[in-house]
Amino acid sequence: MCRSVIPADVREPTPRPGSPAARSRRRFLKLSAIAAWRALAGASGAAPCSGPPSAEASGREGRRETSGRSLTLFLCGDVMTGRGIDQALPHPSAPEIHERYLRSAADYVKLAETANGAFARPLGFSTIWGAAHEEWGRVAPDLRIVNLETSVTTSHDWLPKGINYRMHPANVPCLTAAGIDCCALANNHVLDWGPAGLLETLDTLREAKLASAGAGRNAAQARRPAVLDVPGKGRVIVFAFGTASSGIPTDWAATADGPGVDLLPDLSEATLRSVARRVRDVKREGDIVVASIHWGANWGYDVPPRQRSFAHGLVDVAGVDVVHGHSSHHAKGIEVRAGRPILYGCGDFISDYEGIRGRDEYRDDLVVMYFPTLAVGTGRLVRFRLTPLRLRRFRLVRPSRQDFAWLRDTLARECGKLGTSVEPVGEGALELRWT
C-alpha cells in the first residue's frame, strides 16, 4: 500500500513510457502534488482531505463437520502503521523520508490535521483502532490476521523506490494492542529499509509474539506458513504470497541464503501446482488454510481473469479455505466458491492517507472488517459479517449513515458481479449472502 503524496503510487504497475496510461498517470501525480502542497500551505480553494470444485482434488472428501462448531477469523487489508501513523505514536522514527514531494513523515500528520482537524499526540497504541475494538468485542473472532504493510525497524538503509514505510520497533505495541495474531508480510513495503530492515522486522514481531508469514531470512523461512492453534477448534495455517503485480520488486524474493519475501513468479498453472504441493505438505484433516496474497493494482474494481482463475485453483486444487487478497486501496468484490470465500481486495485498514486527494471516487477512507465464520472440521463458510468503518484523524470510527450506505451499495454492486450479495444486519454491519 502506498500512496504517497502524492501519489507516486509504487504499487501500481508502471505504465509504458509514453503510453496513454503513462500520460494520464503523470497528469494525476501532478494534480495531486499541487493539491497536497496547497493543503500544507493552507492555500484557499484546495481543501485537502482529505462450478463446483473437485472435492477429491482438494482432499476434502471424508472431512466431517464437528458438532456444528465454528471458528471466526478477523481479516483486513493493509495495516500501514509506518510513516505518518508512526509519527503520531509514542515512539516515532526519525522523520526523514525520501519522497519526491515531501521530506518529513510528519507532513502526513499535518495533511491529516488540515483535512479533518487537529488531534492530540501521541496517540495511544489502542487509539488508532478506535471503533474496531468494540466490533472485536462483539464478534469475538478466534484469530486476527492482517497484511502488515510496513517495515518495523530503525534501519536507515532506504531503498530508492519513491516511498519507504517504517515504524519504530518501540511502536509495535500498537499491533499487540489490537490483539493481532498473524501478520502477512509478502508485500511491497516490508523491505523498504533494506534487508536489515526486514531482519529487524522479523525479530521485533517474534519478540512481540506475533506470528508472521511470507517473509524470512531465507527462502525456506519465507515460504514457511504460520501455524496457529485455536484451542478446541483446530489449526489455522496461514500462507502469505506476494506478486510483482502489487509492486514487489522481483529482487525482493527470498533466496536460498538471503532474506526476502515469498514471491510467486506468476499466476500460472505451474505456480498453482507448486502452491498446492506446499499446502498438501502441511495441511492435515480439519485444518483451515488461509492464502493471504498481495496482488494487483491499487485502484479499480475489476478482477483480472488470471487472478480469478488462480483463486479458483487455490480452492479447487490446492485445498485453500480462505483466499485473503489485498493490495487495492479500497474494498473489492467477494466470491464464494464451494463454500470457500475469496476476497479479491480487502482495501486499506490503517493508513496515513486522509490528507491526500486524487482518487476520492474510491473512498479509501471507508474500510471493512471481514469476519468469515467457518465450520470446524470442514472449513466451509457458514456466515460472513462485514463491518464498515471510516478512517478519520488517524483512528477508526463508525461511518455516517450516508457513508455506510455508499459502502453497502458499492459492495453490493461488486459482489453482484461475482454471484454474492450483501444485506444490512443491524449494529452497523452487513452480511454476505451466497448460494
User: What is the smallest separation between the CB atom of 194 and Zn ion, expressed in angstroms?
Assistant: 17
The CA distances from residue 137 to 4, 76, 185, in Å, are 33, 16, 26
φ, ψ at 180 (rounded to 5°): -65, 135
Residue 11 touches Zn ion, criterion: CB under 5 A:
yes
The SS3 call for residue 238 is strand
Classify residue 407 by burial, with Cβ atoms within 10 Å: 0-12, 13-18, 19+.
buried
Residues facing 389 on adjacent strands: 367
The SS3 call for residue 205 is helix
What is the C-alpha separation between 319 and 310, in angstroms, rounded?
Answer: 12
The residue among 248 and 411 lying less far from Zn ion, judged by its C-beta, is 248
User: What is the smallest separation between the CB atom of 354 and Zn ion, expressed in angstroms?
Assistant: 18
User: What is the smallest separation between the CB atom of 225 and Zn ion, expressed in angstroms?
Assistant: 20
Out of 32, 50, 81, 188, name the contact with Zn ion by CB under 5 A.
188
User: What is the smallest separation between the CB atom of 55 and Zn ion, expressed in angstroms?
Assistant: 34
Residue 298 touches Zn ion, criterion: CB under 5 A:
no
The residue among 325 and 358 lying less far from Zn ion, judged by its C-beta, is 325
The residue among 58 and 328 lying less far from Zn ion, judged by its C-beta, is 328
Provide the pairing of β-strand 340-343 with 322-326.
parallel
Residue 50 touches Zn ion, criterion: CB under 5 A:
no
What is the C-alpha separation between 104 and 102, in angstroms, rounded?
Answer: 6
The residue among 136 and 299 lying less far from Zn ion, judged by its C-beta, is 299
Residues facing 145 on adjacent strands: 75, 182
The residue among 189 and 363 lying less far from Zn ion, judged by its C-beta, is 189
Beta strands in 107-225 (DSSP E): 143-148, 151-152, 166-167, 182-184, 211-213, 215-216
Residue 1 touches Zn ion, criterion: CB under 5 A:
yes
The residue among 153 and 327 lying less far from Zn ion, judged by its C-beta, is 327
The residue among 72 and 187 lying less far from Zn ion, judged by its C-beta, is 187
User: What is the smallest separation between the CB atom of 294 and Zn ion, expressed in angstroms?
Assistant: 6
- For residue 272, give the C-alpha cell: 498453482
The residue among 187 and 212 lying less far from Zn ion, judged by its C-beta, is 187
Residue in the block written with cell 485453500: 320
Q: How many residues sit in the footprint of Zn ion (CB under 5 A)?
A: 5
Residue 70 touches Zn ion, criterion: CB under 5 A:
no
What is the C-alpha separation between 385 and 373, in angstroms, rounded?
Answer: 8
Residue 187 touches Zn ion, criterion: CB under 5 A:
yes
The residue among 391 and 422 lying less far from Zn ion, judged by its C-beta, is 391
Please identify, among the stretches 5-13, 63-71, 197-205, 223-231, the one whose residues bind Zn ion according to the rule CB under 5 A. Answer: 5-13
User: What is the smallest separation between the CB atom of 241 and Zn ion, expressed in angstroms?
Assistant: 13
Residue 215 touches Zn ion, criterion: CB under 5 A:
no
User: What is the smallest separation between the CB atom of 274 and Zn ion, expressed in angstroms?
Assistant: 23
- Each residue 306-345 as x (binds Zn ion by CB under 5 A) or -, in order, gives ---------------------x------------------
Please identify, among the stretches 40-48, 85-93, 102-110, 179-187, the one whose residues bind Zn ion according to the rule CB under 5 A. Answer: 179-187
Please identify, among the stretches 11-19, 105-113, 359-367, 418-426, the one whose residues bind Zn ion according to the rule CB under 5 A. Answer: 11-19
User: What is the smallest separation between the CB atom of 353 and Zn ion, expressed in angstroms?
Assistant: 13
Q: What is the secondary structure of 87-137 as a DSSP string?
A: HHSSSPPP-B---SS-SBTHHHHHHHHHHH----SSPPTTGGGTHHHHHHH
What is the C-alpha separation between 165 and 169, in angstroms, rounded?
Answer: 13
Residues whose CB falls within 8 Å of the CB of residue 305, separated by 6 or more in sequence, listed in order: none
Binding site for Zn ion (CB under 5 A): 1, 11, 187-188, 327
